[in-house]
Structure 1
Amino acid sequence: MTQKVVFQTLGTASGKQIGVATLNVETALNALDLDMVRALTAQLQAWQTDDDIAMVLLDGAGEKAFCAGGDVRALYQASKEAPGSVDTLAKVFFEEEYRLDYLIHEFGKPFMVWGDGIVMGGGLGLMAGASHRIATERSRIAMPEITIGLYPDVGGTFFLAHMPEKIGLFLGLTAFQMNGADALFAGTANYLLGSDDKEPLLDALAEVMWDDDDTVNHTRLTEVLNARNVPAQESFLKTNMDTITALCTGELEDIVRRFEALSSQDAPQLIRARDTFLAGSPISAHIIWHQAIIGDELSLDNCFHWELGVSVNCCAHGDFVEGVRALLIDKDRTPKWQFADVASVPQEVLVKLLTSPWQGQTHPLNNL
């Protein structure tokens, strides 16, 4: 059977090596399953403590996607088979996925992600923690969880909250697809390279005189990437930030009314954003709005703590099962959400979803 993640090391002129991990499920747009999460975690931990490894590159097989997200079909099946339970595959998967994401954030050595093509959901969780995050002219980067009854997890509570103005909330509510320039503006990427520059980049990295000092190696990788940066395309997010901020300020029901008031005279990107938001899960919209409030108050590890509870609750009690059914299983694209709109979601439902299942117990992520 083909390996779902391929690991190799590249020699360099310095004698040091570059660790390369390639997500290798091209037909599934390199979506992450639990086996892939576990393989990545084990190898990255080994490379993190290996003095011969100067830096790590994480990329995806093929030209379509770096990573289109997590294997939500498996989570759907597990959640459907044990309705109302938070102790399913979802708990195991999310816990181990978040540990992997946190490991990348805290890796220490230079960690580069080649974010070419589709980078969505769990793929953005992998990319967000990297020290060197590359987008290309083909990048399509988004957090589309509102369409399946989830919310931007995988550290989104942290990185969306640290974007300019209301950009993070806008991305979460609307599943807006960023291009490379948008990603640079929002901070999900910090370099923009041509999609055909990958092999020349690897050749250049092989010539770097890597050091024993991680700080020096960060600087050397930055120098190589700066020399290859290409001019950014136009960023819709940057150009329209004032409009986006005005749309997404205030209470959730006010935000809904402003989106509903958009007309055909407004930018097509805003109309698409409106339609996705208003068709999405009302429960998810509430979670995303709440997430935006608390995100800049929480440390990174506490963001993952909060997310684990909310994610398993979404699978057990929220709209996740119905959202996945409508989009990926039956593909009728007509989800029957539990509530018709955001105004109809009772407060007690939100309290239940936002309350950790591990009250008074040891949290699974306590030792992050």
Structure 2
Amino acid sequence: MKHGDWGLDVVTEVSGGVGYITLNRPKALNALSLGMVRSLTTILLAWKDDSSIHAVAIRGSNKEGPFGGFCAGGDIRFFHAAALAGDPALEDFFTEEYALNHLIHTYPKPYLAFMDGIVMGGGMGISQGASHRFVTLRTKMAMPETNIGLFPDVGGGYFLSRCPGSTGEWLALTGEVIGADAAIAVRLADYVLDAGRLQEAWDALAGVDWESAGSLDAWIATFSIAARADSMVARDQIDAYFSLADVQSIVGALEADRSEWAQHTAATLRKRSPLMLHVVLEQVRRARTMSLAEDLRMERDMVRHCFVTRHLDRAGARSETVEGIRALAVDKDHQPQWNPARIEDVTTAMVAPFFDSPWPTNAHPLRTLF
């Protein structure tokens, strides 16, 4: 086995025809930096054309060692600082991250994502396109972007809109954290692995005969455990409420339902950015009829508007996203000053321009994706 440099944020090893990737920034919960995005892209492109590499496996390390934490998302502190400084690296980050997401979804070789521990935001972007998505009973999965005045990007419109019923809208709007069983139920994971045998499973991949589908199936059978089928709490309510026409209708129906689940869900939505709730509902519903490349181009347009919302004359510290990150991760006062402050005060004129591209088609930064 060729061992990589464990001083790096992205460590690679090669054994038995498997290219192994370990995200190694545990103090930041493996949050993706621009350097990590570039490293992953370079590695995957090289292995894509290397006939000696038959499959790719990716995991995240935690402070105690390998596994235990996959990836908590993009580096939102960097987003905050770059937005305030007008740093063009912010634009590069999203363009290159979304191109990486597309590369993973379209990768021609088996790509196995070990989604142990926290899997959120950008961590979903580098795992949802995997051919094999493994979770454990320690998995904490979410797309929590409305909590910071953003939207579920990294292809979130594409993969959330393809969850059964209205579960995608529920996950996108609330940012609810789900475990392994619910992840299987909403089709955001394929198998549950035994968390106590992850290292053994990881090492055993080097013994898989990649020319034989049966060999990988046998590996999965050896290390997987059953998911509980009845894992989705309030599934009927989710489908009933989150299929309604607009955010006001969803919240109104939840608030009228006196059940504990409905009241909790309504209270959660009331804490999120009212503007971005409306944008996100539109995003998920548009994405349902889009290809992945179309969705990523739309999300690239949207993220530009999040940091530079020209139609609302807002940018920098006044942008919804910068304010949300400030409240959650910088000042940590958890008191974001959303604008508008109420769901009922958001207008169509505020939402629609998020879906207008700042670029002509032939100059779009993701124009080459298909």
The question of whether the paired residues in 2 share the 8 Å contact of 1:281 and 1:319 is answered with yes
Residues 103-131 of structure 1: CA deviation (Å, up to 9, x unaligned): 11011111000000000000011110000
- 1:48 equivalent to 2:48? Answer yes
Which residue of structure 2 aligns with residue 93 of structure 1?
A: 93
Percent identical: 36
Distance (whole Å) between structure 1 residues aligned to residue 345 and residue 76 of structure 2: 27
Which residue of structure 2 aligns with residue 36 of structure 1?
A: 36
1:261 to 256, 260, 284: 256
Which residue of structure 2 aligns with residue 220 of structure 1?
A: 215
- Assess, with a 3 A threshold, how the Cα gap between structure 1 residues 207 and 188 changes in structure 2: closer, same or farther: same
2:81 to 77, 81, 84: 77
- 1:66 is paired with a residue whose SS is coil
TM-score (norm 1): 0.90
The question of whether the paired residues in 2 share the 8 Å contact of 1:90 and 1:312 is answered with no
Distance (whole Å) between structure 2 residues aligned to residue 199 and residue 33 of structure 1: 26
- Assess, with a 3 A threshold, how the Cα gap between structure 1 residues 28 and 271 changes in structure 2: closer, same or farther: farther
Residues 305-363 of structure 1: CA deviation (Å, up to 9, x unaligned): 00000011111224101000110111110000110222212322212222111136511
Spell out the pairing of 1:107-186 with structure 2 (5 A cutoff).
107-186=107-186
For structure 1, list consecutive stretches of 5 or more residues without a partner in the other structure: none
Q: Once structures 1 and 2 are overlaid, which stretch shifts more, 88-97 or 196-205?
A: 196-205
Q: How many residues align?
A: 350
Distance (whole Å) between structure 1 residues aligned to residue 296 and residue 100 of structure 2: 11
The question of whether the paired residues in 1 share the 8 Å contact of 2:113 and 2:130 is answered with yes
Distance (whole Å) between structure 1 residues aligned to residue 202 and residue 330 of structure 2: 39
How far residue 296 of structure 1 moved from its aligned partner, in angstroms, is 1.5
The question of whether the paired residues in 2 share the 8 Å contact of 1:90 and 1:315 is answered with no
How far residue 262 of structure 1 moved from its aligned partner, in angstroms, is 4.1
Distance (whole Å) between structure 1 residues aligned to residue 264 and residue 126 of structure 2: 26
- 1:334 is paired with a residue whose SS is coil
Distance (whole Å) between structure 2 residues aligned to residue 271 and residue 65 of structure 1: 31
How far residue 78 of structure 1 moved from its aligned partner, in angstroms, is 1.6
Distance (whole Å) between structure 2 residues aligned to residue 261 and residue 88 of structure 1: 46
1:241 to 228, 235, 245: 235
Which residue of structure 2 aligns with residue 9 of structure 1?
A: 14
- Assess, with a 3 A threshold, how the Cα gap between structure 1 residues 29 and 70 changes in structure 2: closer, same or farther: same
- 1:112 is paired with a residue whose SS is strand
Residues 171-198 of structure 1: CA deviation (Å, up to 9, x unaligned): 0111111110011111111010111121
TM-score (norm 2): 0.90
Paired letter, 2:321: F
- 1:160 is paired with a residue whose SS is helix
- 2:83 is paired with a residue whose SS is helix
Residues 226-264 of structure 1: CA deviation (Å, up to 9, x unaligned): 343212146543x4221111121222210011222343x
Distance (whole Å) between structure 2 residues aligned to residue 41 and residue 360 of structure 1: 24
Paired letter, 2:106: E
- Assess, with a 3 A threshold, how the Cα gap between structure 1 residues 141 and 44 changes in structure 2: closer, same or farther: same
- 1:305 equivalent to 2:297? Answer yes
Paired letter, 1:100: L
- 2:134 is paired with a residue whose SS is strand
Paired letter, 2:294: N
Distance (whole Å) between structure 2 residues aligned to residue 235 and residue 144 of structure 1: 24
Which residue of structure 2 aligns with residue 251 of structure 1?
A: 245
Which residue of structure 2 aligns with residue 362 of structure 1?
A: 363
Distance (whole Å) between structure 2 residues aligned to residue 148 and residue 235 of structure 1: 31
Distance (whole Å) between structure 2 residues aligned to residue 306 and residue 39 of structure 1: 25
Residues 20-52 of structure 1: CA deviation (Å, up to 9, x unaligned): 111100011000010000000000111111111
How far residue 278 of structure 1 moved from its aligned partner, in angstroms, is 1.3
- 1:276 equivalent to 2:268? Answer yes
What RMSD in Å do the two structures reach over aligned CA positions?
A: 1.8
- Assess, with a 3 A threshold, how the Cα gap between structure 1 residues 232 and 173 changes in structure 2: closer, same or farther: same
- Assess, with a 3 A threshold, how the Cα gap between structure 1 residues 236 and 296 changes in structure 2: closer, same or farther: same
- Assess, with a 3 A threshold, how the Cα gap between structure 1 residues 139 and 235 changes in structure 2: closer, same or farther: farther
Which residue of structure 1 aligns with residue 312 of structure 2?
A: none
The question of whether the paired residues in 1 share the 8 Å contact of 2:209 and 2:216 is answered with no
How far residue 137 of structure 1 moved from its aligned partner, in angstroms, is 0.3
Q: Once structures 1 and 2 are overlaid, which stretch shifts more, 150-159 or 196-205?
A: 196-205
Residues 155-180 of structure 1: CA deviation (Å, up to 9, x unaligned): 11111111100000000111111110
